[in-house]
Amino acid sequence: MPVARRSAILAGTILVFALAARPVAAHQTSVKYVTVVVTGARLDVTVKVAPTDVTEPLHLPNDARPTATDAAGAPEVAPYVARWLAIAADDQPCTAGPPTARPDADARFVVVAFSATCAVPPTTLTLDFAAFFAVDTRHVAIVHLSSPGSEPADAIVRASDTPLVLRLDHPTTGFAAWIGAGIAHIWQGVDHIAFLLALLLVVMLARARAPIDWELRTPLSALRRTAGVVTAFTVGHSISLALASLGIVTLPGRFVECAIAASIVYTAAEDIVRPAPRGRFVIAFAFGLVHGLGFASVLAELLPPSHIAIPLVGFNAGVEVGQLAIVALALPVLFGTAWLVGPRRYRRVVLPVVASAILALGLVFFIERVGGWRITGM
């Protein structure tokens, strides 16, 4: 078997396993909202959860869908949720009082509230979510801390972030946390990564005059083409992310997810059939609008009820940072491969193999999302 063909098959195999091995579930994450109000040595804590998060203390199957009213009325629910959070002030544990549970105003969530007493008014507050993440490491906690005389602080807590340490005398705006949330989402989004790779597969190729059918662009030319395509994608998803997050544009979640999968299929198929397509910038922009709606579905779960400017800008900036990191890793590999095997072999062997793997993954996503099935576990 020729070396180029073996290299192409190996590259395609690695791509499939790399994408399929990522432990990603759906775009939506199980989000909990934690509010801590500090008044002297007293802390008033509320934890807002979905009724489906408390099926265990209700002795119901995991796929059960209890109402918020029923869940809040069960005496086991409040202690179960309150145990998720351990609080210390200046390294001294705070004593929590008995928790209560009630449905929220819309009867969509269960609000568990309790007070905690610390030995002294805290300057540093430690929130330990170890028990929370023991239930499910994919959970996310959105924490809002307020104290009289201090600016409020926001934080996004994932399994790797506990315990969370907050200084009351120097709170943060949470902007860095929102950037981190955007980076995490783009890196955990197999569909977004697959689409970016499909865009990058052909940026280094150019048609040549006979008798040579393909030639390799110069590194600078390939970089300029990459910048144009990625910028078009960025502008598209930034526009739709903002419009959807502000409630101006709303589309059904399943339709958006199916459209994202279709964008992968179309772009990968175009790579195979038309590897030097004109108008790739238009395609990148149009599909960027679709992917932005997918980003917005995640951000909508994380947004606080007010003051959304910082979360929106931070999350979008994080998406861009994560996206640029993917491009910085993938582009040298793809360009180097095309240079090693030659543009003709890259076009006829490597590109079709890798694009076919991406296309197959996109088809699986599309079938899953249309039918509501789970094939890959992603």
Answer whether 8's CB lies under 8 Å from 349's CB. yes
152 has a pLDDT exceeding 80? no
* Cβ neighbours of residue 202 closer than 8 Å, sequence gap 6 or more: 271, 275, 276, 277, 280, 351
Structure letter (DSSP) for residue 76:
T
What's the pLDDT score for residue 311? 77
Beta bridge partner(s), residue 86: 128
28, 146, 298 from 179: Cα distances, Å? 18, 21, 13
**Closest by Cα among 360, 170, 145, 370 to 258:** 370
Radius of gyration of the chain (CA): 24
Say which residue, 331 or 182, is predicted with more confidence.
331
Q: Over the chain, what is the mean pLDDT?
A: 81
pTM of the model: 0.62
% the chain with pLDDT above 90: 31
Say which residue, 63 or 87, is predicted with more confidence.
87
Q: What is the pLDDT of residues 134-143, one digit of tens each?
A: 888 878 888 8
Q: What is the pLDDT of residues 189-210, one digit of tens each?
A: 888 999 999 999 998 888 776 6
What's the pLDDT score for residue 11? 43
CA distance 305 to 199: 36
What's the pLDDT score for residue 263? 93
Per-domain residue ranges of the chain:
3-26+189-202+212-371, 31-174
Question: What average pLDDT does range 255-278 have in this prediction?
Answer: 88
Q: What is the pLDDT of residues 1-57, one digit of tens each?
A: 444 444 443 344 334 434 433 333 333 346 788 889 889 889 999 998 888 888 889
* Cβ neighbours of residue 280 closer than 8 Å, sequence gap 6 or more: 199, 202, 229
295 has a pLDDT exceeding 90? no
What's the pLDDT score for residue 12? 45
What's the pLDDT score for residue 32? 82
What's the pLDDT score for residue 141? 84
Q: How many CB atoms lie within 10 A of CB 341?
A: 21
Say which residue, 301 or 242, is predicted with more confidence.
242
Q: What is the pLDDT of residues 66-77, one digit of tens each?
A: 888 988 999 999
256 has a pLDDT exceeding 70? yes
Q: What is the pLDDT of residues 159-187, one digit of tens each?
A: 888 888 877 765 555 677 778 778 877 88
* Cβ neighbours of residue 307 closer than 8 Å, sequence gap 6 or more: none
332 has a pLDDT exceeding 80? yes
Indicate the pLDDT class of residue 120, thresholds 50, 70 and 90. confident
What's the pLDDT score for residue 52? 85
What's the pLDDT score for residue 3? 40
Six token digits for residue 290: 């679709």
What's the pLDDT score for residue 19? 41
Question: What average pLDDT does range 213-230 have in this prediction?
Answer: 89
